[in-house]
Amino acid sequence: MGAVDRARLAAGLARELQRFRDEHPRSRALHERARAHLHDGVPMSWMVRWAGAFPIFVDRGEGSRFTDVDGREYVDFCLGDTGAMTGHAPAAAVAAIKAQLDRGLTFMLPTGDALEVAAELSRRFGLPFWQVATTATDANRFAIRIARHVTGRPRILVFNGCYHGTVDETFATLAPDGRVVARAGNVGPPVDPSVTTRVVEFNDVAALERALAPGDVACVLAEPAMTNVGIILPEPGFHAALRELTREHGTLLVADETHTLCAGPGGCTRAWGLQPDLVTVGKPIGSGIPVAVYGFTGEVADRWRARSSVELADTGGIGGTLAGSALALAAVKATLTSVLTEEAYARMIPLAERFGAGVEAVIDDEELPWIVKRLGARVEYWFSEVPPRNGGEAAAAMDADLDRYMHLAALNRGVLMTPFHAMALMSPATTAADVDRHAAVFRESVEALRS
């Protein structure tokens, strides 16, 4: 079929939008009513960005599926954009959370679960010391603060097109002329991000070296493989160079494993034998209870302690009243020991391979100039023949109309993909039948562009 016919695509999109409106009357009515007291009719601003004319409202979810208020069931490959990578309402975590509900939720005192959580995280990621935050955003903010504090340096470095949560310093991007500028849409940046942040393209070792050379960068904050501009894998030697250059220039390396936890039980850090100074992880580790963790080396711990005092522990800008709560720790313990287990990954990763093979079969049959990319249990397809090497190339390869059509066609046929990309995540509850359902829906959506 070659490149997609734009007229057929426009007609297909109009058809799918009409079908979406016709088949979701209750969601539509709820969205209209919600406008009375919710900004744009949603409780969180990103929820306006789904492919339909309005968001679908959820009734309930279980395992790999959920049902909307119109009674339609979906196979969920979005999984709360990784927040529900455990599958919905995983039994072991739900039981632990329910048990904790009867025993008190938050004390600003530790519970015994904290010890087991930290020991298991140490085993998985190879870092000895851990702390708990409420969100991955917070974990990243705290990692940056610690890095600044112990190095005495003002700046951080991120890769172009990154996403690490709503962390002010990371809302920076490269302009075409190479300047660091605020990301489009950045709401009320406290300072010009070029003051706080250097940005280079992923996989560009020479640019990284130039950016670290002035010796003023406290840390590089990086996903080991980028996942928020689509999946961008490191080229051979990139991680070795990143580690070597950061060490050489006295810069700490922070691995944000929040999404790359899809690579295995210890994220890319363990899967690829990386040696970050700090690791952050959030989203699914509490099976949906808001909680994140950050770990660090003994050296970072010593340097932090040497510059802090117990009397000032509550005024350092790190922590939070509900961080490390009894509820959060009960949820993390159950998630790590009974849900996102080694055995679960041994099922999830082959399912992602099966998902990719199903998509590739259609791409081959239809002779589409598209490709599939995968990182452990996460898989996606790209509307381009050449895999992007960095955020800039990824942004240039986006096809907004095609992306919207594919999402909406899938949604109308009972399959939810991650918004903003054509990305799917496997949970421990995902089945081969779920994956094959996507393959059939993908084929139907592509074929509809031909007739």
Ligand X SMILES: Cc1ncc(COP(=O)(O)O)c(C=O)c1O
Contacting positions for ligand X (CB under 6 A): 81, 135-137, 140, 163-165, 223, 228, 256, 258-259, 282-283
CA 185 to chain CA centroid, nearest Å: 19
User: DSSP for 63-75?
Assistant: BTEEEETTS-EEE
In the complex with ligand X, which residue's Cβ is closer, 164 or 413? 164
CB of 70 to ligand X, least distance (A): 28
In the complex with ligand X, which residue's Cβ is closer, 204 or 257? 257
Cα torsion 325, 327, 329, 335: sign? negative
CB of 67 to ligand X, least distance (A): 24
In the complex with ligand X, which residue's Cβ is closer, 161 or 282? 282
Going by C-alpha positions, the residue among 67, 69, 87, 70 that lies closest to residue 78 is: 87
CA 58 to chain CA centroid, nearest Å: 21
Residue of closest CB approach to ligand X: 165
**Which residue type does 25 have?**
P
Going by C-alpha positions, the residue among 77, 100, 115 that lies closest to residue 358 is: 77
Q: What whole-number distance in Å separates Cα of residue 376 and Cα of residue 346?
A: 10
Q: What whole-number distance in Å separates Cα of residue 113 and Cα of residue 136?
A: 20
Q: What is the 3-state secondary structure (H, E, C) of 366-380?
A: CCCCCEEEEECCEEE
In the complex with ligand X, which residue's Cβ is closer, 159 or 345? 159
**Which residue type does 214 have?**
P
3-class secondary-structure state, position 23: helix
Cβ–Cβ < 8 Å for 404, 323: no
The residue whose two tokens read 């840390």 is 219
CB of 207 to ligand X, least distance (A): 21
CB of 84 to ligand X, least distance (A): 12
CB of 196 to ligand X, least distance (A): 17
In the chain the first and final C-alpha atoms are separated, in Å, by: 11
In the complex with ligand X, which residue's Cβ is closer, 4 or 147? 147
In the complex with ligand X, which residue's Cβ is closer, 252 or 255? 255
In the complex with ligand X, which residue's Cβ is closer, 75 or 143? 143
Going by C-alpha positions, the residue among 77, 167, 136 that lies closest to residue 332 is: 136
In the complex with ligand X, which residue's Cβ is closer, 165 or 392? 165
